[in-house]
Structure 1
Amino acid sequence: MRSGTARRFKRRITAFGIALVLPIGLLVGLASPAQAAEQATATFIKTSDWGTGFGGQWTVKNTGDTTMDTWKLEWDFPSGTTAGSHWNGTITKDGNHYTATPSSWNGSLTPGQSTTIGFNGTGGGEPSNCKINGKPCDGGGEPGDAAPTAPSGLKAGTITDTSIDLSWSAATDDKGVSKYHVFRNGTEVAAVTGTSYKDSGLTKGTQYSYSVTAEDTIGQTSPASNTVQATTTGGGGNPDPPGQYKKMGYFTEWGVYGRNYHAKNIDTSGSAGKLTHINYAFGNVQGGKCTIGDSYAAIDKAYTADQSVDGVADTWDQPLRGNFNQLLKLKKKNPNLKILWSFGGWTWSGGFGDAMKNPAAFAESCYNLVNDPRWQGLFDGIDLDWEYPNACGLSCDTSGPGVMKDMMQAFRTKFGDQLVTAAITADGSDGGKIDKADYAGGAQYADWYNVMTYDFFGAWAKDGPTAPHSPLRAYNGIPQDGFNSDAAIQKLKAKGVSADKLLLGIGFYGRGWTGVTQSEPGGTATGAAPGKYEAGIDDYKELKNRCPATGTVGGTAYAHCGNQWWSYDTPSTINGKMDYAKQQGLGGAFFWELSGDTSNGELMTAIDSGLK
């Protein structure tokens, strides 16, 4: 703030010095540029509309010639229209009057720079009486300098798989309209002199929102036109039949070692015929590019006949072996099964921030690796498992909230009709990880999100309190508000993410404590319970007999055996969660990960039967 104060102080001294030596008549001539030094405009667009509500977005732009240190946006809504949950700033309400102020990171705007603040609203009204920093939002308000009227009658004409034709009625202005600015999903995509525009290079089967503003010959901007939404024709990259629930499971690259879990196990357990998708985990992100994680496991490990999906042994000279070759054989036996390559994960998310400094180059590197001719036909798309954009996981990222939208847009542009998905946070707490990035903006480019509704609680809090790691809903005594599946789903929906683009996450494992005497949740502990592969965590197939469930809480199961306390999902609790997924209109469910299930696929069967 000190630098901004210094700039303002310097301008006052300069103006005073000029007043000492210039005639009064010349001061009048100088008044207009001085007033124009700090100017801003604000335009509104509905990014989505579902009848009873809408997604709204304001774009604030510095149209002056000096940096704005902060901004304050005000408007009125008619009775019956309200603004609710919001992001990228703070919105307060006084009757029908609303005031928006920025977050800490988007208050200062350099000349020409813009930022957005979004919200979810109810009702169907439009904003009025807009002011930005106390002045009209159109940038006008000076005597004799009326801003243009808003363009009217915006409509979509011819629509193809990749383009939408737009047209509108001309705005009027006392000095004449010089150009029209076309906005797609709140971002300017073109400036044209006529009253039509063809927006091309779009994605099949995808909905877009448009608005238009007019600019006059002295640079004043009109209010936005009406918002129009249009959906391109075609499949949009999601080839699943309408109404089919997605049932996706992760297959881990390293599972072929200590866990001795291979592609053949997916087949012999019966899970292959019940899955719609498999995510192969994980590829790495290094040096701004996607790279293979473990090349031996992926493409070189030799399989004997009894280990192979089709009973045919690998030979020493065949061009492709390992998991990739086995998964190709699995797809051949299950023609409807689709496989995505997942990149990142908890350990390998650290490279995403640097990679996103050049999103197009990052996406291209991943596209070339996923579609490498050596494993042609294996992968149907990519899954981006960044934990967590603009937040902290194993490492911290400070890319800003817009990075999620930028990433998904870059990958959709490059991958076209192939699947593009992402694993995302389920932190539904106030100000939590869902609030840190623009997941709604990214969703328009994604086929779906895998919402990681597990690992809410665990023995990293070694003293407890004991709590289920994957609660469906909150319960009395839950240690953290917003740490449950329903809170995450409702928050994402409120931000404007379509329910059918959300998959509910299920853990095929449990998390546990030792030193526990209390059977119910909320007990104290002394540390992590022993697990077969890692302390504090174990597979369902190990726990179901070693420490059987003794109760349920929040829609999931828990078990108290000896001095240990575990929580995990069972076929019964999974059935309840699948009912929830259907009631909420979700796109389906996914789970981490295949090797945690029993040899006959008990949990996979529960997901499959629950999503009929």
Structure 2
Amino acid sequence: MRVRHRSRHRLTAGLTTLLLPLATLVALGGNAEAAPDTAPKSAQAAPKAAAGATATYAKTQDWGSGFEGKWTIKNTGTTALSSWTVVWDFPAGTKVTSAWDATVTNSGDKWTAKNLGWNGSLAPGASVSFGFNGSGPGSPANCTLNGESCDGGGQPGDNPPSAPGTPTASGITDTSVKLDWKAATDDKGVKNYDVLRDGAKVATVTGTSYADSGLTKGTDYSYSVQARDTADQTGPASGSVKVRTTGGGTDPGPGDKVKLGYFTNWGVYQRNYHVKNIVSSGSAEKITHINYAFGNVQGGKCTIGDAYADYDKAYTADQSVDGVADTWDQPLRGNFNQLRKLKAKYPHIKVLWSFGGWTWSGGFTDAMKNPEAFADSCYKLVEDPRWADVFDGIDLDWEYPNACGLSCDTSGPAVMKTMMQAFRTKFGANNLVTAAITADASPGGKIDAADYGGAAQYTDWYNVMTYDFFGAWDAKGPTAPHSPLTDYPGIPKGGFNSAAAINKLKAKGVPAKKLLLGIGFYGRGWTGVTQKEPGGTATAAAPGTYEAGIEDYKVLKNSCPSNGTVAGTAYAHCGNNWWSYDTPATIRAKMAWAKEQGLGGAFFWEFSGDTANGELVTAINDGLK
């Protein structure tokens, strides 16, 4: 018998081609190591700068694996410039990958930018800018403008300051931290330091210490600093120090229940459900965590699930969390950027990246042949600099260790404990490490197949999938609620209910506070049913919007309203169809039961099944208060 069949369909998205304005974009190929005699002749005989002309550099964006830079040329002299050429050195490993509003070339690590036909002439007091995308950690040095120093002093060769020492953190509280660092050096003197929190500047100070405040308790931050010299040149950033404010914590406390929802990457297609809907429904204020589903498991590694939906889809202003449209050249788009905006607006929300699920669990067996390498690959993907700030940990949804789901695993009972230990070791104490697990409490069933008790010591919590116990994969029935809270007379199989699953996991040594009760935001149904009460016969799965036998709550509440309850959940008989699903009333009752059991909270699958005003999320929140 099939215990659960989660509806996790992936829709194919058409890939869009990004069209760049050819008039202003110059792509740079692989000639970064060209021989010196390939330098443009114009760079060798550039006109002299007017007295006081300057070229200043600013890093306008930094996404970890790359950055955006901008040069501004200003004629501060008394005579016009007819053309300009800016030359600078990058350290090895740093290069320009594309540029606009200038022709940029290089000879090894020396880079030359020359004006285009329309922007070379500068009257006294006028200025012009050009920009570029780059890769690598370095900053420009030895800048010249038309052969003279870029600071207007007439002598080229002024170097930017060195990197300051990596900050040290002290005096950490719920909302503040003190940072100290060793001074940078510069040939003309250091003017001040920019303090960077998670890559964004939060302060500029003249000394070598800074006290940051207004932080969120129990939250991870990363700090670095960079120096600016008296010529306004900015040097490279220091190493970073990670800081976790006190308070909060990863384990749910007695009065701090977890309220977690799954957000599916494929929901942005046919379902037209976006991160913004979490806000517009009022749900953002009522949840604590989001599991982003799913990443894949392939070739022994964690891999991207849907690159377009995850980080490439361009959002219009009306679809965006903050009402700001994506641009063609921003480094991160898609759901990841929308989740970043959601966290900025609701800093209490933490996001975990969930890997596997019903369709993609087959890869776990191969991956667990080398647990440490598997955990390392997942860590590198979750902590990719492009989106590391978006995620607060990882959720592993293996259906099922040492048992059968869409495919079967025979790795042995210890595999669950081995996996969670490897991931805790790699992700450390400051990241969340969780797992979605079976609720099959039948004798010799899936809970008995793996060491969930032994693995619990390495886990922040388990999402116990207490739904999909029964459904129309048994096409002829008997009809039964897919998410019964308790046993009831006539239930088709013993141990297939939430209370049995929770009790069995507790008996195996899993602390109650590490167990979350699962709620489905959908119903399971049959057709060809004449009996109103559970236990009737059927002919097939009831028709559904996306798949036969399953339908969202937001549809069922109107199309087939509940007309009975059994074992703590609702059912409905309308025409020849029979459905079971949870309502706000049954969810509140289940939350009361979860509190009585001392559970860590609840989770649900998934956001898009709820009503536009978040009825079911509200019921979870109200019930766990």
TM bracket (short chain): 0.5 to 0.7
423, 426, 432: which is aligned to 2:445?
432
CA gap of 1:521–1:309, structure 2 versus 1, over 3 A, is: same
Q: Name the residue aligned to 1:397.
A: 409
Q: Partner letter of residue 435 of structure 1?
A: D
Alignment pair present for 1:328 and 2:376: no
- Structure 1 CA distance for aligned equivalents of residues 382 and 282 of structure 2: 27
Q: How far 1:463 sits from its partner (Å)?
A: 0.4
Letter in 1 for 2:588: N
Aligned counterparts of 2:517 and 2:282: Cα–Cα separation in 1: 22
Aligned residue number for residue 350 of structure 2: 338
Quote the Cα distance in structure 2 between the aligned partners of 1:572 and 1:405. Answer: 37
Q: How does 1:561-576 map to 2 (within 5 A)?
A: 561-576=574-589
Question: 1:257 pairs with 265, 269, 285, which one?
Answer: 269
- What is the number of equivalent residue pairs in this alignment? 380
CA distance in 2, matches of 1:235, 1:448: 18
How far the C-alpha of 1:599 sits from its partner, in A, is 0.2
Mapped contact 1:237–1:418 kept (Cα < 8 A): no
How far apart are the structure 1 equivalents of 2:254 and 2:594? 16
1:382 matched to which residue of 2?
394
Q: What is the aligned-residue identity percentage?
A: 80
| Correspondence 1:275-294 to 2 at 5 A | 275-294=287-306
SS in 1 for 2:506: helix
Query: Could you say which residue in structure 1 is the equivalent of 2:278?
Result: 266
Q: TM-score when scaled to structure 2?
A: 0.60
Report the equivalent of 1:58.
Answer: none
1:549 to 551, 562, 569: 562
AA aligned to 1:467 is: A
Provide closer, same or farther for how the CA distance between residues 241 and 477 of structure 1 changes in structure 2, counting only shifts above 3 A: closer
- Aligned match of 2:509 in 476, 496, 505? 496
Is contact 2:251–2:460 with CA below 8 Å preserved after alignment?
Answer: no
- Specify the SS of the correspondent of 2:358: coil
Cα distance between partner residues in 1 of 2:585 and 2:253:
28
Amino acid at match of 2:390: L
Residue in 2 aligned with 1:7? none
Counterpart CA distance in 2 for 1:580 and 1:341 is 28
CA contact (8 A) 2:253 2:600 kept: no
Aligned equivalent of 1:370, options 382, 387, 401: 382
- For residue 507 of structure 1, the aligned residue among 517, 520, 526 is 520
- Cα offset, 1:243, TM superposition: 2.6
Contact kept, 8 Å, 1:237 with 1:447, in 2: the verdict is no
Cα separation, 1, equivalents of 2:318 and 2:358: 33
Output the amino acid matched with 1:395.
S
SS class of match (2:611) = coil
> Which has the larger share of helix?
1
Give distance in 2, aligned partners of 1:451 and 1:300.
32
Letter in 2 for 1:318: Q
Match of 1:611 in 2: 624
Query: Residue 473 of structure 1: CA displacement?
Result: 0.2
Match of 1:374, SS state, is coil
Q: 1:552/1:507 Cα in 2 relative to 1: closer, same or farther (>3 Å)?
A: same
Q: Deviation per CA, 1:291-340: give whole Å up to 9, x if none.
A: 01000000000000001000000000100000000010000010000000
Q: Partner of 1:112 in structure 2? A: none
Q: Does residue 484 of structure 2 align to residue 471 of structure 1? A: yes
Max radius of gyration: which structure? 2
Q: What TM-score do you get using the length of structure 1 for normalisation?
A: 0.61
Report the residue type matching 2:616 in the other structure: L
- Within 5 Å, give how 1:172-187 maps onto structure 2: none
Following TM superposition, the consecutive aligned residue runs of length 4 or more in structure 1 with deviations greater than 6 angstroms are 234-237
Aligned pair partner of 1:238 in 218, 242, 250: 250
Is the Cα–Cα contact under 8 Å of residues 237 and 419 in structure 1 kept in the other structure?
A: no
Q: Is the 8 A contact 2:402 2:408 kept in 1?
A: yes
Q: Which residue of 1 aligns with 2:553?
A: 540
Distance 2:539 2:252 in 1: 48
Q: Runs of 5+ in structure 2 lacking a partner?
A: 1-217, 219-245
Q: Is the 8 A contact 1:463 1:524 kept in 2?
A: yes
Whether the 8 Å CA contact 2:252–2:600 is kept in 1: the answer is no
Amino acid at match of 1:449: Y
How large is the RMSD of aligned CA atoms in angstroms?
A: 1.3
Using the TM superposition, give the Cα deviation of residue 376 of structure 1 relative to its aligned residue in structure 2, in angstroms: 2.6
Q: CA deviation at 1:239?
A: 6.2
| Map of 1:524 onto structure 2 | 537
